[in-house]
Amino acid sequence: MKPEYSEKLKLLPPYLFIEIDRRKKAAIERGADIISFGVGDPDMPTPRHIVEAGKLSIENPKNHQYPFGSGLMTFREAVSRWYRSRFGVNLNPANQVHSLIGSKEGIGHIHLAFVNPGDVVLIPEPGYPVYNTGALFAGGEPYFMPLVEKNGFLPDFSVIPDAIFQKAKLMFLNYPNNPTAAVADKAFYASAIEIAKKYSIIIAADAAYSEIFYDDPPISFLEVEGAMEVGVEFHSLSKTYNMTGWRLGFAAGNADIIKGLASVKDNYDSGVFQAIQEAGVCALSSSQKCVDDARKIYCRRRDALVSGLIKLGWTLNSPVATFYVWAKVPPRYKSGEAVAKLLDEAAIVATPGNGLGPSGEGYVRFALTVPEPRIKEALERMSKIKW
Ligand SMILES: *Cc1c(COP(=O)(O)O)cnc(C)c1O
């Protein structure tokens, strides 16, 4: 028997990286030494003190049972303390914080708590694919908000029809932004909150990159007046502490919204392994020097790649946050063609901008998760490409 996939599964967009993947495999078969700027997965290990805390916690039998619910009180308190010191935001750990099995999990599930079939979900594009997947799985109708350079890669609310806002239940925002590396200011968030209040739209702010910055620390959506009435913010320990493999994140903000997400989760999973939550307590409560050290490393990589690309004639803005460089492809090329040429002629993997949404056409995303000597090697190889 060949199983018949569900209509919802069939709705998912085709895997856009298939052609790149095929070329990558062919290059590896040729024996090419691939340098990958593709996936945004930190290459550096989780800081030692966090690993040690996790090891100790694994030994504790009280952590061997189902975790259940919103997470350890110690974890939610650590989140609450971290929010106060980092953003000056007060969160009640009892009902305004919820642990997540990575923030992707919460971002995917929140739709099921609030979106009915036919409801609109406002989604930035190019963007993280899970906003769209979650909307489709809930039977919602994605409405894409283009992020273009002339608007500072912020959605332009003035061009969204009133009828769309009327039907919208949920709006995703993501700053610092993957893939454009843009940041949002208070005025932008205030305009989003005004719309959210006017049309009763829930705002889900994805702040996975809030700690990866090279300039002033980015603000939190929850710092802005009125945010707590209309939204939640998703955070992840993945990028901040090189913990992508551990699967730990959290949602914070409006208690009723958190409660909806909690109900979905209670019925789908039984919480985050407590040992991992305890490692998270260590990460959030210890000295943040490890984060500062990582920022310095990303900063040097950024400077090496940005100055090198500019020397080679590429057009781009140096990112002020995230570990992505969002570069315009050489003239007359499409994203897919440029990425294919980088791979075929220099064994370099990068993400085609249009793979993350149509407004990404004409761009390539380079993730700075590659050591500096390899960045220099990549630039050396790129200098030999004729565009
Ligand atoms: C990496 C990333 C996440 C979160 O990842 P988790 O590991 O699931 O916490 C969320 N949003 C964006 C935009 C990301 O790039």
Domain at 353, CATH number: 3.90.1150.10
Q: What percent of the chain has pLDDT over 90?
A: 92
Residue 14 has pLDDT above 80, yes or no: no
CA torsion 360-363-369-373 (nearest 10°) is 180
Quick one: pLDDT band at residue 16, thresholds 50, 70, 90? low
Q: What is the pLDDT of residues 167-199, one digit of tens each?
A: 999 999 999 999 999 999 999 999 999 999 999
Identify the residue whose tokens are 């009892």: 94
Tell which of 230, 259, 285 closes a domain.
Answer: 285
Identify the residue whose tokens are 């949404």: 357
Residues 376 and 319: beta-carbon distance below 8 Å: no
Best mutation site among 236, 241, 277, 322 for ligand 1, i.e. most ligand atoms within 8 A of its Cβ?
Answer: 236
User: pLDDT value at position 7?
Assistant: 92
User: pLDDT value at position 346?
Assistant: 95
Q: What percent of the chain has pLDDT over 70?
A: 98
Residue 331, preceding peptide bond in cis (omega within 30° of 0)? no
Distance in angstroms (rounded) separating the CA atoms of residues 54 and 247: 13
Quick one: pLDDT band at residue 28, thresholds 50, 70, 90? confident
Query: Which ligand 1 atom lies nearest to the CA of residue 174?
Result: 13
H/E stretch holding 20 reads helix 18-29
Residues 221 and 208: beta-carbon distance below 8 Å: no
Please give the full DSSP string across 297-358, using - where no structure is assigned.
HHHHHHHHHHHHHHHTT-EEPPPSBSSEEEEEPPTT--HHHHHHHHHHHH-EE-EEGGGG-G
Residues 35 and 349: beta-carbon distance below 8 Å: yes
Other Cβ atoms closer than 10 A to 277: 25
Domain at 128, CATH number: 3.40.640.10
User: pLDDT value at position 27?
Assistant: 84
Q: Are residues 133 and 14 in the same domain?
A: no
User: pLDDT value at position 26?
Assistant: 85
CA torsion 10-14-15-18 (nearest 10°) is 130
Q: Are residues 281 and 295 in the same domain?
A: no
Q: Are residues 192 and 94 in the same domain?
A: yes
Residues 354 and 179: beta-carbon distance below 8 Å: no
The three-state secondary structure class of 21 is helix
The three-state secondary structure class of 383 is coil
Q: Are residues 232 and 175 in the same domain?
A: yes
Distance in angstroms (rounded) separating the CA atoms of residues 365 and 176: 15
Phi, psi angle pair for 251, to nearest 5°: -110, 145
Query: Which ligand 1 atom lies nearest to the CA of residue 238?
Result: 7
Query: Which ligand 1 atom lies nearest to the CA of residue 249?
Result: 9
Is 2 a domain residue? Answer: no
Q: CA nearest 385: which of 346, 329, 348, 349?
A: 346
Instruction: State the average pLDDT over residues 83-105.
Output: 98
User: pLDDT value at position 24?
Assistant: 80
pTM of structure: 0.96
Residue 126, preceding peptide bond in cis (omega within 30° of 0)? yes
Tell which of 231, 264, 285 closes a domain.
Answer: 285
Q: What is the pLDDT of residues 126-135, one digit of tens each?
A: 999 999 999 9
Tell which of 231, 266, 285 closes a domain.
Answer: 285
User: pLDDT value at position 316?
Assistant: 96
Q: Are residues 121 and 261 in the same domain?
A: yes
Q: Are residues 313 and 220 in the same domain?
A: no
Domain hosting residue 163, numbered range: 48-285
User: Which comes out higher in pLDDT, residue 324 or 1?
Assistant: 324
Mean pLDDT, the chain, integer: 96
Is 1 a domain residue? Answer: no
User: pLDDT value at position 13?
Assistant: 78
Instruction: State the average pLDDT over residues 114-136.
Output: 97
Cα 207 to middle of ligand 1, angstroms? 9
Task: Please give the angle made by the CA atoms of 346, 335 and 318, to the nearest 5 degrees.
Answer: 80
Q: Are residues 135 and 183 in the same domain?
A: yes
Residues 120 and 169: beta-carbon distance below 8 Å: yes
Tokens of 306: 């940005």
Distance in angstroms (rounded) separating the CA atoms of residues 300 and 227: 35
CB 241 less than 6 A from any atom of ligand 1: no
Distance in angstroms (rounded) separating the CA atoms of residues 84 and 76: 12
Is 387 a domain residue? Answer: no
Residue 65 has pLDDT above 80, yes or no: yes
CB 238 less than 6 A from any atom of ligand 1: yes
Query: Which ligand 1 atom lies nearest to the CA of residue 239?
Result: 1
Q: Are residues 293 and 191 in the same domain?
A: no
Q: Are residues 126 and 167 in the same domain?
A: yes
Q: Count of domains in the chain? A: 2
